[in-house]
Amino acid sequence: MRRRGWVAAGLMVGVAAFGELADQLAPSPDNPAIGYFNYLKHPAQDPLAQLSRKIDQGTLQLAFAPDKGYLPSLLAALHVPIESQMAVFSKTSLQAERIEPSNPRTIFFNDNVAVAWVRGGFIEMASQDPELGTIFYTLQQQFQEKPNFLRRDDCLRCHISDDTLGVPGWMARSRYIAPDGMPQLVLGGFTTDHRSPFEERWGGWYVTGTSGRARHLGNLLITGDEPPPMPPPLETLKGKFDTEGYLSPHSDIVALMVFDHQVHMTDLITRVGWEARVTPASNLRKAAEELVDYMLFVDEAPLAGKIQGSSGFAGKFAAEGPRDSHGRSLRQLDLEKRLMRYPCSYMIYTPAFDSLPAQARAAIYQRLWQVLSGEAGGARYARLSAADRQAIVEILRDTKPDLPAYFRRL
């Protein structure tokens, strides 16, 4: 599964995912079964909404630091690791005028929320509601007695598109960037996930750590009409810009790889959930196949040598579990031939997945069983070895209480 980009009239017109869901018209956010904009009937239940309620009730306070504002306290309250920091130097987002290679925007994330900050600006947040999809917020970096998370539906001008499968969602873009941070749209670009070859990834992002023999677009600035040779890998961001005020000197390649996987997985879960809620009696077979194929990394771009992070994110991520009776986890990383040691997405444990309508989860589990048991044949599943399939089933048995009984047969 690859992404396609095209150029017309000197501009990148669009980037879309191949797949059944991308080719179908998505349900409307205004549909009564969704109610994305109906705040009263469908109050948000995402991590930021829950945090805001605790602040309003006085059960939680955010500390304000003179140099970094609410950022450290907010990350701690949301359980977002500093090691996940990624630095973006392309002029994108609500704060494009502040962003440049000497003043990148940093993004931190966990399974359910992403927090972005640029020096001199405010905090941006994307928070995954279990039913509504991604909700966007901003937080000003001035002290308030009770910090106010402002919901920003205007973010949907970019964050609901073909790139997000037509639902409010996340995306990771890769573009060729000029020294002032402006994307060179005439050269095209990519919307990336774990299926993207490395040579298409991370244009406009700083990347620290090593990528084996693989080449990527990270750390690259374009000064002419053609991309120059790839720059050498970075150990830290020090020397590229003044890192004073930033929480970390890293933009870890392993964090970037996990994020690439997670953005599309998040949008797939949202889209399948919307389809099932709007048309409960619909046939979800094709949608389940697309989600399960991505969940099992069927079309993952292979790695060309050992990946080595720089911030400690890999260890932090893998330690979170949950683990089965043999100590195995879907969060364990491989980083030599593929991203995950056991190729099944850890996003199966998220509230968004667990909140899918029963018929959607039933279709997904049925397809997952067909692939893992070998009932679903075909060359495209050959990358899943018998040992991989057995391990994934055993891990899920011990860690997913709602797993259907037929998973016991393998």
DSSP-derived secondary structure for 134-175: EEEEEE-SS--SS---EE-GGGHHHHSSGGGTTSS----EEE
Q: Do 364 and 291 contact (CB within 8 A), yes or no?
A: yes
- Rounding to the nearest 10 degrees, give the CA dihedral for residues 323, 192, 381, 272: 70
Mean pLDDT over all residues of the chain?
92
Domain-located, residue 361? no
The continuous run of DSSP H or E covering 267 comes out as helix 253-278
Nearest to 294 by CA among 363, 348, 331, 228: 348
**Amino acid at position 231, single letter:** P
Domain-located, residue 291? no
For 370-399, b where at least 16 C-beta lie within 10 A, e where not — what string?
bbbeeebeeeebebbeeebbebbbbbbeeb
Domain-located, residue 59? yes
Domain-located, residue 44? yes
pLDDT tens readout for residues 47-104: 999 999 999 999 999 999 988 999 999 999 999 999 999 999 999 889 999 999 999 9
Domain-located, residue 377? no
Domain-located, residue 26? yes
Q: Regarding predicted confidence, which is higher, 387 or 281?
A: 387
Residue 236, pLDDT > 80, answer: yes
**Amino acid at position 368, single letter:** L
The parent domain of residue 42 ranges over 3-253
SS3 118: strand
Q: Regarding predicted confidence, which is higher, 15 or 296?
A: 296
Total count of domains within the chain: 1
pLDDT band at 9 (very low <50, low <70, confident <90, very high): very low
DSSP character string of 323-375: B-TTS-BTT-B--SSSSBSS-S-GGGGSHHHHTS-HHHHHHHHHHHHHHHHT-
pLDDT at position 227: 72
Residue 13, pLDDT > 50, answer: no
Nearest to 237 by CA among 209, 264, 276: 209
Cα separations (Å) of 175 from 15, 17, 216, 268, 369? Answer: 12, 17, 11, 23, 38
Who's near 45: CB < 8 A, 6+ residues apart?
129, 130, 131, 132
Residue listed under structure tokens 């920091």: 85
pLDDT at position 322: 97
Chain centroid to Cα 101, Å, comes to 23
Domain-located, residue 201? yes
pLDDT at position 2: 34
> From the CB of residue 202, how many other CB atoms can be counted at a distance below 10 Å?
28
Residue listed under structure tokens 């600035």: 221
Domain-located, residue 404? no
Question: What phi and psi values does residue 193 have, to the nearest 5 degrees?
Answer: -150, -165
pLDDT tens readout for residues 323-340: 999 999 999 999 999 999
Q: Do 299 and 195 contact (CB within 8 A), yes or no?
A: yes
